[in-house]
Chains A and B, each alone.
Chain A
Amino acid sequence: MTDSNTSLSHLDLETDKTFLDANELVINMGPQHPATHGVLRVILRLDGEKVLGLECVIGYLHRGVEKIGEHRTYAMFNPYVDRMDYVAAVSNGLGYCETVEKLLNVEAPPRAQYVRVILTELNRIASHQLWLGTHALDIGAITPLFYTFRDREEILKIYEKYCGARLTTHAFRIGGLQYETYNGFEREVKNFLDFFRPKIDEYEELLTTNRIWVERTKNVGKITGEDCIALGVTGPVLRASGVKWDVRKAQPYANYKNFDFEIPIGENGDTYDRYLVRMAEMRQSVRIIEQAIDAIPEGPIMAKVPKVIKPAVGEVYHSIEAPKGELGYFIVSDGSTQPYRLRVRPPSFVNLQALDLMCRGQLVADVIAVIGTLDIVLGEVDR
């Protein structure tokens, strides 16, 4: 077995000739498979149950989002970003709006900033809930899925009340917000937090100390911090490997510097640590929302943004901490109403690169666990 990727060669495994002298078995997992989270196709090379290597084939959901961006005005492109990571549409919108604001050199008013943070953190919780449910389902625990979906519903209800949409929300506009918060927004968010805090314990009760869960996730899909950095892996996967990198703290955007929260990190970089990190992140998100909801200032919700957005010639890169990792937008403006080039740095796509490295030498069942723990959304991988 040869692999051209020399930097990762320490993980290359020789075919285990003693194992019944088995020949390699090539299995095609996906694009229609219950556990590949969409239309990911993984070509597995197996020796019995052991994974010798794998190759991801992507593009089944490619819609050319970046190219579409070149043919739409800045404001018109805003709803398209919701369709990339449709599980965390609000985060996508925040990233895009902030990037264009940076390009225009305007800043959203404080009230808008606070509402943005609240909605984005709620979205982080919703995204992690969906991850937890599907990840547990992949490992064979079918019940947590229904619990997380039941509780995610409460977040979607808040979104629906705020902007009319549940999934692809288009909640933010360039320069601030389109809608003022509805009556009782603060109360409902607070109610949700009170409702949700014990629910995290409920999820943890089902899984954290469950022997089978621990056995299935500990030392599975290990990745070191160096490998993560080499591959550009970000988000909870990076943090679980012990690297304390969170864009919210490292390069504060929106008004995250006003809030007091911690960045949970893991030690071993295995699936169990990633699970713990995400559970802790949900608690931290609750903390952030709590602080934000008490401190929402009065004031305008929209900055002065021209009706026709025509940024000066130039380019800008801006990134935010989406639930899945660093979500970056790179926009080149030629001074017209449409971007000259728009590039998205999707966390799922970059994180998916690590799949091969994490699965080598593990068993077939672990591939499923690792795909789940990477928390990929194919809409974002393929764009």
Chain B
Amino acid sequence: MHEFLQYIESYLTSDKTPGAAGNWVWELIYILLVFVGLSVSVICMNWLERKILAHMQVRLGPMRVGPHGLLQPIADALKLLLKEDIIPAEADALIFWIAPFAVVLAAFTVFVVVPFGPTHAITDMNIGILFMLGVSSLSVLGIVMAGWASNSHYPLIGALRSSAQMVSYEIAMGLAVVSAVLMTSLNESGTGTLSMIGIVQAQLAQGEWFIFKFFPLGLIAFFIFAIAMVAETNRAPFDLAEAESELTAGFHTEYSGFRWSLFFLAEYSAMIAVSSIAVTLWLGGWLRPFPNWLSGTTWDRMFSLFPGVTFLFLAAMCFYNTVRMPKHPLFRIQTIGLAGFGVVLGLIGLILFIPAVSFRVQDVFWFSAKVAAFMYLYIWYRGTFPRYRFDQLMQIGWKVLLPIGLGVLILTASVALLQPMIWHP
């Protein structure tokens, strides 16, 4: 028993990821943490999307289940779990059954290499980014399986659309990624890295996030990725695969209940996954903003307060709205609930002010904050843009993003080659 505890403790002093340290207990803990964290963030995302979209559209969104609809995602999840599990009579039952799991598996597996901090990743693969791109594109298999096994026209068209879309946008995406990977090799030894943690450390070492590198080349590559990732995850304005007004629901038309919720889960975790790639590659991963402009230990300490301040701010919002709740006896439980939620958020905020905690957690905070910004963009796109047509979508992928991506890659390579000759002859 003592040895076991020592085994667990021994990791705490290491500066490696649990995978790299080979500590299987911590690996399990991290896997559990990532899985739970991901599920919770999908639930939060569900609520946030409804609320933000609602406020963009001059409505209130969910307001009844819990204060300000906070319990709506849980109610929805319960509803989905309790629904009858239907497999259409004409469907290919086995493939129909496997498809949602394939999609979820692909969407969750990529998080093995996502670096939430220098040591906060399940493992650090030396081919991390390649692994992420590869595994995340496996989800198209599940979608095609779902569309085919449903044995119905709408899902079939939806599946065909989405597979064509995902395959063609992966190329533009890959080119953008390569140009970022190329930037990691701009050091003394000239060795680049594909490891997710290595990429962020390269940005730290070069003192520049890759979005600003070789301005505007990094920015353009980032934009290509930012567009391609929306298409890759089948979200508005590229949500043709599940275009509600055309194909009723696309590839998951025949799915219901728990299976449908798996697709939902996979969609949102895929969104988080591609956003984390973008954050890692161009936005400095877990690094805090303004590392050069506001440098020094004082600023470091100031920025380490951010996680706590954020949670205190959320708690303050809760309390403000508790005061504004209708003073009717029917609302008493909701009011108490909202206040309780605020207290929980406030306590988390206070815990985050403990230096030892904030030191360990601030990496994760900055990473999540950057990913959250992308999530907001996803919602914003959905609220503003009409949907592209299939041929236009393909045109953008092949005729616009691909050439620009190639150009950026070649230019990045040439600049990287020429730079040392010009500035350090």
Contact = CB atoms under 8 A, between A and B. Distances in A.
B236 interface: yes
A147 B388 contact: no
Interface string B53-84: 10011110000000000000000000000000
A138 to B, nearest CB: 4
Contacts of B337: none
Interface in A34-57: 34-35, 49
B213 interface: no
A365 B385 contact: no
B384 A27 contact: no
Given A140-B239, A212-B386, A363-B390, A27 B246 contact: no
A34 B57 CA distance: 20
A366 B391 CA distance: 11
Nearest to B236: A140
A28 to B, nearest CB: 8
A207 B385 CA distance: 9
B237 A143 contact: no
A146 B58 contact: yes
Contacts of A366: 389
B390 A213 contact: no
A372 to B, nearest CB: 9
A137 interface: yes
Contact of B386 (A49, A139, A364): A139
A33 interface: yes
A141 B388 CA distance: 10
A206 B244 CA distance: 21
Contacts of A365: 240, 243, 246, 387, 389-390
B103 to A, nearest CB: 23
A241 B156 CA distance: 36
B187 to A, nearest CB: 41
B388 A143 contact: no
B382 interface: yes
Contacts of A138: 245
Contacts of B382: 142
A146 B59 CA distance: 8
Nearest to A32: B248
B392 A368 contact: no
Interface string B212-246: 00000000000000000000000011011001111
Contacts of A150: 58
Interface string A245-261: 00000000000000000
Interface residues of A, number: 31
B167 to A, nearest CB: 16
A371 to B, nearest CB: 10
A178 interface: no
Interface in B276-321: none
B58 A216 contact: no
Greatest chain B CB density within 10 A among A27, A28, A143, A213 is at: A143
A142 B53 CA distance: 10
Given A146-B57, A147-B58, A212-B237, A139 B248 contact: no
Contact of A34 (B240, B245, B385): B245
A303 B315 CA distance: 67
Contacts of A336: none
A13 interface: no
Interface in A4-46: 25, 27-28, 33-35
A210 B385 contact: yes
Greatest chain B CB density within 10 A among A137, A140, A142, A146 is at: A140
B56 A140 contact: no
A97 B246 CA distance: 39
A215 interface: yes
Greatest chain B CB density within 10 A among A49, A141, A213, A365 is at: A365
A381 B174 CA distance: 51
A136 interface: yes
Interface string A355-380: 00000000111101000000000000
A144 to B, nearest CB: 9
Interface in A265-318: none
A213 B389 CA distance: 10
B153 A368 contact: no
B122 interface: no
A216 B245 CA distance: 14
Contact of B237 (A27, A136, A140): A140
Contacts of A137: 245
Nearest to B156: A25
Contact of B385 (A25, A49, A141): A141
B122 to A, nearest CB: 37
Contact of A213 (B53, B239, B245, B386): B386
B227 to A, nearest CB: 12
A141 B389 contact: no
A140 B387 contact: yes
A327 to B, nearest CB: 27
Interface in A313-353: none
A247 B102 CA distance: 60
A136 B392 CA distance: 18
Given A49-B157, A212-B388, A365-B389, A143 B246 contact: no
A49 B246 CA distance: 12
B385 A140 contact: yes
A270 to B, nearest CB: 14
Interface string A71-88: 000000000000000000
A40 to B, nearest CB: 13
A365 B57 CA distance: 24
B387 A216 contact: yes
A141 B386 contact: yes
B383 interface: yes
A364 B246 CA distance: 7
A128 B384 CA distance: 21
Contacts of B391: 49, 363
A216 B386 CA distance: 8
Given A27-B153, A49-B157, A143 B245 contact: no
Report the 3 A-B pairs with minimum CB-CB distance, sorted nearest first: A140-B387, A35-B245, A146-B57
22 contacts: A25-B153, A27-B157, A34-B245, A34-B248, A49-B157, A49-B161, A138-B245, A139-B386, A140-B237, A141-B385, A142-B53, A142-B382, A143-B56, A146-B58, A147-B57, A210-B385, A212-B237, A212-B385, A215-B389, A216-B387, A365-B243, A365-B389
Given A34-B248, A49-B157, A364-B390, 19 more contacts: A27-B153, A27-B157, A28-B153, A33-B248, A34-B244, A49-B391, A139-B386, A141-B386, A142-B382, A146-B58, A146-B59, A147-B57, A206-B384, A210-B386, A215-B389, A216-B388, A363-B389, A365-B387, A368-B246
Interface of A: 25, 27-28, 33-35, 49, 136-143, 145-147, 150, 206-207, 210, 212-213, 215-216, 363-366, 368
